[in-house]
Structure 1
């Protein structure tokens, strides 16, 4: 796959267009299984996770066609319920195919999901809610297998909020017999966007912003065309890239309403921004305050996916920042790599304590998607040359991070080994 080579110390300046959302488009692609025509998703990002989902859908009978940023998914000839383990192992989001496959074929066989190794991410919540809706499931030899004589509506309250389990439940319930009520659901924007797509396909859903989702099952969903929303995490990453380098960046189509927690932290650190004409205009030239103390939280709180990129900013800001990770217990691998660059970061249980200082280039390795992006940010603000290996993790979620950064004046290139 190669590595990224970065020459740091240059403030980023310019405008970048935000790609379509990875976390929104993957469940939308799974939703295509519930209709027997062609779903067109406009603005679909060309990233490794999307390509993996394309291969999975093709393996069970779907037809896939790309036209620039649009993807067409023809599910009229689905002929299998089995997702190859080699594909499932590469991507955590493969687990959301369970609900759609049970809804479409009444059977499922899928390998336990892979993805980033950032902590315990059990599938128990997925299994419990699907079983409550009529599925019979078992986990054996690294595979999830099961069937449903009929998916039936019912009541289910999640023990704890889970984005993926909520998406699986919604996908299983939209064509189930009767009414389904789901309580204590996750409220992330990606769930809202999925429900909007399903309504455009003919589903009867309400309450997705409230944490209590009510679904009246319908017999069939129809094909449609739908715009994939902009990626709030990519937008946040680039905002923080501007912060790390004390630059001025315009984010075209940034979903600012979904970024309120990040923008609040950014403003408290001295960053300035305004939203005008669908663009988020940021100015980080006077960003000089540490993050003090913050915790990652479920939406609408500060997103765990931006914890590592924020640490990269804090590492170069004078003062002490404390960031408490409450979602995943193994999400400080990037911080340990930043130490190789001179970062003064101490990990105490679930909290990273950062004393800001100057960073210098070093050879580091990405072990997960957002941690890899954080190392890019650290490299951009460091003195000298930074080389990042393990870039496959980064390219799971960023369509062209090198091209985007170069368009802002940053010096980064991909070197293929």
Structure 2
């Protein structure tokens, strides 16, 4: 397995371009199943997760072509014919979001057999809400031997879908299925994340009639068929927030480009409260810190537009050397403090009780060997390593490769001393 080694102490100065959003790209790729015409996605990130989903889509009959076009990295997906409605466990288990092929397959072909995605290290994240939405749309659902069998031979029907709790994945899944349903569907208590707006824009470019994404009520008027389209993936707000935290951690001045700072206002306000400088630009923002010690700041994760759970681990790393004590409350996922013991190996003073962590800032972190436990935890260890004395080595970085494109290159261009140590092979997720 590959590892990443970081020699701490270098300030960051330079520019980092933000890639397309992983969490949006993988749902947009699934939308290609809804039409027999080509869907061209630009501003596409090249990640382990997009490769995994591309492999699954190819098995279902989608022709997937990656290239560099006039608009940067792009992926062309063409599902001229669905050749299989079977998504096996060995592919679905590698990436949870691949379960979202179920709705588009049923919407277009009338049937599908898709593996349940299995467990998750940061919480159970059951798919009950996904299945309830499909059943509301008229699909017959059977569970057998770890697989979901879904059928709607006469097509899906518009319906009211009321989620008992907010779920980004279930909201996206309902949207992907309802666009081809007969009649009007209304999704209540929908998630409001920017990635849902991105999905709406792509689906509408394909001929769908979706409105309300970004609010708690989404209305979808089903159409008989969708056409091909070209759509640019929204910039990755989690990657942007991660590099903003890294700049505040290491000090210096970093310009983030191809970004939308309005999508991480909550984080940027917390960085300013801690003592970092934030300046908005035409295509992103600039993060500055002159070397003065940051102040401890409390955060509590919440659905958008609150503080993103996917930035919690990074912010905890930032607080490990801040002046004072910060409280970090995690309200979205259980078990999402697994990075805390690894940060403590670097000398951090952290105590965890239930859904709250208390971080008492220390003067200096010390380099050590640490292990990534999930995608966001892995990059929090890299951020801590930027200021730790000596060398920090992060193992199991296949987690990191799922969501961060060319991380060593982007940080290295700003002066970070970070390098990848090649291993004998990569495990499957």
The offset of 1:286, in angstroms, is 5.5
Q: Is the 8 A contact 2:123 2:336 kept in 1?
A: yes
Q: Which residue of 1 is the match for residue 3 of structure 2?
A: 3
Q: What pairs with 1:360-399 in structure 2 (closer than 5 Å)?
A: 360-399=366-405
Listed as ranges, the matches of 1:221-370 within 5 Å are: 221-285=226-290, 288-357=293-362, 358-370=364-376
Unpaired runs of at least 5, structure 2: 424-429
Q: Distance in 2 between matches of 1:286 and 1:265?
A: 17
The residue correspondences of 1:118-137 to structure 2 (distance < 5 A) are: 118-137=122-141
- Whether the aligned pair in 1 keeps the contact of 2:52 and 2:91 (CA below 8 Å) is yes
Q: Is the 8 A contact 2:296 2:361 kept in 1?
A: no
Indicate conservation of the 8 Å contact 2:252/2:291, yes or no: no
Contact 2:270–2:297 under 8 Å retained in 1: no
Does structure 2 retain, via aligned residues, the 8 Å contact 1:271–1:286?
no
Question: How does 1:196-211 map onto structure 2 within 5 Å?
Answer: 196-211=201-216
Q: Secondary structure at the match of 2:28?
A: helix
Q: Find the residue that maps to 1:10 and give its secondary structure.
A: coil
1: CA distance between counterparts of 2:290 and 2:302? 28
Contact 2:296 2:323 in 1 (8 A): no
Cα displacement (A) at 1:290? 3.5
Task: Give 1:50's aligned residue.
Answer: 50
- The answer (yes or no) to whether the contact 1:175–1:220 under 8 Å persists in 2 is yes
Aligned equivalents of 1:373 and 1:156: distance in 2? 36
CA distance in 2, matches of 1:110, 1:301: 33
d(CA) in 2 for partners of 1:109, 1:313:
44
Deviation at 1:139, TM superposition (A): 2.5
Q: Deviations over 1:322-360 (max 9, x none)?
A: 000000011111111011100000001111100011111
Q: 1:115 to 1:236 in 2, by over 3 A?
A: farther
Deviation (angstroms), 1:291: 4.0
Name the residue aligned to 2:21: 21
Structure 1's consecutive aligned runs of 4 or more residues displaced over 4 angstroms after TM superposition are none
Structure 1's 16 and 115: CA in aligned 2 closer, same or farther, altered over 3 A?
farther
Question: 2: CA distance between counterparts of 1:118 and 1:136?
Answer: 30
Matched residue, 2:81 = 77
Shift of 1:118: 0.5
After superposition, what is the alpha-carbon deviation per residue over 1:201-238, rounded to whole angstroms, capped at 9, x for unaligned?
A: 00011111221001000001110111111100000000
Q: What is the number of residues matched between the two proteins? A: 417
2:426 corresponds in structure 1 to none
Secondary structure in 2 matching 1:250: strand
The normalised TM-score by structure 2 is 0.95
Q: How many Å apart are 1:288 and its aligned residue?
A: 3.5
Query: What is the TM-score when the length of structure 1 is the normalising length?
Result: 0.98
Q: Does residue 407 of structure 1 match 2:390?
A: no
- 1:167 equivalent in structure 2: 172
Counterpart in the other structure of 2:427: none
- Runs (5+) with no aligned partner, structure 1: none
User: Secondary structure at 1:267's aligned position in 2?
Assistant: helix
